[in-house]
Amino acid sequence: MTITESIQVSTARKKTFAYLIDPESRKQIIPLLEEVIFLDDGPIDIGSKYIEISSIAGRRFETTYMVIIFKKNKQISVVARKSIFPIRVDMKLSDEGSNTLISIAIALQLKGIYALGAPLIKSIVAQQIRDILVQMRRNLEKPAKNTEHTD
């Protein structure tokens, strides 16, 4: 099952991409995300691995991801290497005039009991993606704080 959602933001693609790959930003936009742990040193690139720790309904979930596509300011794609079910996430950025279009596609392979609830899970995940995109737009379009003081 693949779920795709997108949103347009009024920020440049370069700024948007930098925001999306910042682990602190991820915690601001994904409500259930508690922590991101990078398993590699250096900047994010193809082959980079990280763990996302989430708490859902009182249960703690750890998902280990690996970056499989990294096109600076254009795309980052990851696959779960350790998860409750296989997942791939593709985030792509494109120019829309002076704005940026953020597209997220999540491919899930539901098995066992999860497969029985596929329509409900698809609906829930699609709504979560929309909520995350809206929060991204809010954070990216937030006016910068003015740090100048005038007397």
Instruction: List helix spans (H) across 104-148.
Output: 113-116, 118-141
Higher pLDDT, 145 or 151: 145
Tokens of 26: 């991820």
Q: Is the pLDDT of residue 84 over 50?
A: yes
Domain edges within the chain: 2-31+69-141
Q: In what order do the strands lie in the sheet with 49-56?
A: 2-9, 99-108, 87-96, 75-82, 59-71, 49-56, 33-38
pTM for the full predicted model:
0.83
Tokens at 50, concatenated: 């990280």
Q: Is the pLDDT of residue 147 over 60?
A: no
Q: Which CATH superfamily is domain 2-31+69-141 in?
A: START domain (3.30.530.20)
Q: In the chain, what percentage of residues exceed pLDDT 90?
A: 48
Q: What is the pLDDT of residue 21?
A: 87
Q: What is the pLDDT of residues 17-64, one digit of tens each?
A: 999 888 778 888 887 888 888 898 878 899 999 999 987 767 888 999
* pLDDT exceeds 90 at position 77: yes
